[in-house]
Amino acid sequence: MSHPEAEKRFAADAMLGRLARWLRVLGFDTVHIPDVDDHDLVALADREGRILLTRDRHLVTYLRPRNSLLLQSLSPHEQLLEVAEACGIGMAEDLFTRCMVCNTELRQATEQEVATLVPDKARARPGPFLRCPGCGRVYWPGSHTRRMRRVLETLFPD
């Protein structure tokens, strides 16, 4: 990762799926398992040294994870700012290094994968083309990533 704080790892509870995706865009290893039991989520976060992100006061008070952050906001963008302030993180030089869906680190797609998995219109773009070894998704810079970059540049102007 291009910034040392990327070593921070997170576990997002069931209600924080959109926040988890934004943290993954920034390059942070962020586990999000929507149907996991709260006790199992706390055990996973503690075992793997992750910061547990939640809006559930009960989870923090009664299950007492080792390292947690109780978020206040309902907005994923504001939640991201809460995490950034509390954990001292910011925007990385290299965005989109993890799969937004399954959290696996992305790798460069092969020419064969680009030829068979990327639509013709997107293939004409300069790339890079990245592939998730976990779930097989292919990523490339397009309008979606440009919009996401603009959002992040607004949230993290420095």
Chain segment 50-103, per-residue pLDDT in tens: 999 999 999 999 999 999 999 999 999 999 999 999 999 999 888 999 999 999
Check residue 3 and give its pLDDT. Answer: 45
* DSSP-assigned letter for residue 59: I
Cβ within 8 Å of residue 32, ≥6 positions away: 11, 12, 14, 16, 17, 20, 103
Sorted by where each begins, the domain ranges of the chain are 4-87, 107-155
pLDDT tens digits for range 98-155: 999 999 999 999 999 999 999 999 998 888 999 999 999 999 998 889 999 999 999 9
- The pTM of the full predicted model, rounded to 2 decimals, is 0.92
CATH architecture of 4-87: 3-Layer(aba) Sandwich (3.40)
